[in-house]
Structure formats: C-alpha cells, structure tokens
C-alpha cells in the first residue's frame, strides 16, 4: 500500500492551524486465532511482519500529529521506537489487561516532535488508557488514548466516568481510541458535556459486522469543516490485505485550542 487509504473532503482550511489525530486498534497478534478469523487465508492472517509493515506504512503516509494506537505488541513497540523516534515523542507501552490473562499488548501514544516538546509531555498509566498531559500552542491539554472493556457496558461506563476529575477541569481535551461501543448519540460515551464527536459515520470494525466503535472526541479545539473516512474493504480478507488489522484507522482534524 503506497498511499493513505482515506477519502478526504478539504474545504480550503489553512493547514498551519490543523492538528491531525489518528487513532487505530492495530490488532495484537496474541489475540489472533483461526476460529475468529476463519474467513482469512492463514498465510495472510499469521504474517505478523507483513501486517506490521502495512501499519507502519499507513502511519508514515498519514503523517498525523498525534497517533493513538491500541493493541501494540512489545516487539512492535520496540520497532516503532526504532523507526519513528526521530519524528515522534513516544509514550511507554501501557499494557491493557483482559480477562485476567497475562497478555502483553497495550496502548502507545505518539506526538510529533515539531509540535510537542518532550519536556512538555507527561505520560500516565491508567488501567485502560495512556493519559498524556501536554502543552500545545501554549495551552494545557489532556490526551486520552483509551481501550474500553469489550464485555461489560457497566465497566465501560465506570472507565469513562473515571476521567471526569481531569476532563471537567481541563479546557482542552481529546478522548480517542477503541470505545468497544457502537456510536449512538444517546449513549453516555457520546454525551460527555462540551465534547464534539468526530466519528459519527465511519465504520471502524468489519469482522463480525459493520460497526462504528472507534472514535475521537475533542473539547476546546476549534472544529474544522473537514470529513474523512477510511475506505471500507470489499471483504474481510481484503481488509487484512489493505490494513493489516480488523479495525480501520480513524482520523480527525481539529484547529487550535481555545
């Protein structure tokens, strides 16, 4: 894949004021099994090296300013640091525990060095998120890279509620990642006061059914009249060939914080 697989509408926005945010669950190899992904050729499914290269190519082509990744394996994290360290400040790998299993994958947040100085970035571990406190355009910002529980809606609500002490008292916030909950404007995840929802129409998951479960929410950042969706695969195997993951990358572009 040589070009970013996005359909983009650009309404003559001044790019100097754009902040491009990319969120993506890249699918940890430890969660891949032949039963769940039986419709995909095993040579494609288990070629982790090729899958990871597609993901890196996508990241490089997209050239986002903030990259929020979920389900990153430790060896992938080390490779990212090797390949992307010159361009991005990279957080720790924050392992997300599932079902009391000793899994290894987790969340990683990347911030473009030309916009975010390393000494203005503070990364914190939450049990479902990397929380980054940073300075952008001389404003304090809170950036959450989340991966909510995929079984219990009550637990997902508790996880979102646990962010309130920070988001209620921070003017400029981004909550982004795998919500594991289909978009619906009436659900608690998408009714957080003062937050704008950037993905209302882009399907981001395609294995079981066409679902919009990955999202980017922002508070305090200028809304820009841009829209973009990843190109939805023609079939499940083609999705793996194009993206290397069972989730599609989701992107939003916002303006300067207030």
What's the pLDDT tens digit per position in 61-77?
Answer: 999 999 999 999 999 99
Supply the mean pLDDT for the chain. 91
Taking residues 171-178, what's their average pLDDT?
98
Least-confidence region, from 32-36, 49-53, 223-227: 223-227
Element (H or E) spanning 107, and its range? strand 106-112
Taking residues 14-26, what's their average pLDDT?
84
pLDDT digits (tens, 9 = 90+) for 176-224: 999 999 999 899 899 999 999 999 999 999 998 899 999 999 999 998 8
86 has a pLDDT exceeding 90: yes
| Axis crossing angle, helix 48-62 with helix 236-243, rounded to the nearest 10 | 60
Nearest Cα neighbor of 75 from 93, 87, 50 is: 93
Taking residues 152-173, what's their average pLDDT?
96
pLDDT, position 258: 81
Tell me the pairing of strands 129-136 and 221-223: unpaired
11 has a pLDDT exceeding 70: no
pLDDT, position 14: 42
Least-confidence region, from 13-17, 76-80, 129-133: 13-17
Taking residues 134-138, what's their average pLDDT?
95
Nearest Cα neighbor of 71 from 43, 86, 51, 44 is: 51
| Axis crossing angle, helix 74-84 with helix 48-62, rounded to the nearest 10 | 40
pTM of the model: 0.93
Rounded percentage of the chain residues whose pLDDT exceeds 70: 93
Rounded-to-integer distance, Cα 239 and Cα 245, Å: 7
Structure confidence at residue 5 as a pLDDT band (50, 70, 90): low
pLDDT, position 246: 96
157 has a pLDDT exceeding 50: yes
Element (H or E) spanning 147, and its range? strand 139-147
pLDDT digits (tens, 9 = 90+) for 99-129: 777 889 999 999 999 999 999 999 999 999 9
User: How many Cβ atoms sit within 10 Å of the Cβ of residue 81?
Assistant: 14
Q: Where are the domains of the chain?
A: 16-257
Rounded percentage of the chain residues whose pLDDT exceeds 90: 84
* 16-257 CATH fold: Deoxyribonuclease I; Chain A (3.60.10)
Tell me the pairing of strands 106-112 and 66-72: antiparallel
205-235 exposure pattern, b = at least 16 Cβ within 10 A, e = fewer = bbbeeebbbbbbbbbbbeebebbbbbebbee
| Length of the chain as a residue count | 258
Rounded-to-integer distance, Cα 253 and Cα 145, Å: 16
Rounded-to-integer distance, Cα 67 and Cα 219, Å: 17
Phi, psi of 89, rounded to the nearest 5 degrees:
-80, 125
pLDDT digits (tens, 9 = 90+) for 216-240: 999 999 988 776 789 999 999 999 9
Phi, psi of 83, rounded to the nearest 5 degrees:
-85, -30
């Amino acid at each position: 894949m040589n070009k970013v697989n996005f359909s983009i509408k650009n309404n003559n926005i001044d790019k100097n004021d754009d902040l491009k945010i990319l969120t993506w669950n890249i699918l940890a190899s430890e969660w891949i099994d032949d039963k769940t992904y039986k419709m995909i050729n095993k040579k494609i499914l288990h070629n982790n090296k090729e899958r990871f290269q597609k993901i890196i190519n996508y990241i490089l082509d997209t050239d986002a300013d903030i990259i929020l990744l979920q389900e990153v394996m430790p060896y992938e994290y080390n490779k990212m640091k090797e390949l992307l360290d010159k361009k991005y400040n990279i957080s720790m790998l924050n392992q997300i525990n599932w079902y009391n299993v000793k899994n290894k994958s987790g969340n990683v947040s990347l911030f473009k060095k030309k916009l975010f100085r390393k000494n203005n970035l503070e990364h914190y571990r939450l049990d479902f998120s990397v929380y980054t406190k940073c300075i952008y355009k001389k404003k304090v910002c809170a950036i959450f890279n989340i991966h909510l529980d995929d079984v219990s809606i009550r637990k997902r609500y508790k996880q979102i509620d646990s962010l309130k002490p920070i988001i209620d008292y921070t003017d400029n916030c981004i909550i982004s990642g795998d919500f594991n909950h289909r978009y619906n404007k009436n659900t608690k995840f998408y009714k957080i006061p003062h937050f704008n929802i950037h993905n209302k129409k882009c399907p981001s998951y395609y294995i079981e059914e066409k679902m919009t479960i990955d999202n980017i929410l922002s508070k305090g950042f200028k809304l820009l009249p841009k829209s973009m969706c990843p190109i939805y695969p023609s079939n499940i195997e083609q999705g793996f060939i194009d993206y290397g993951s069972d989730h599609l990358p989701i992107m939003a572009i916002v303006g300067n914080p207030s």
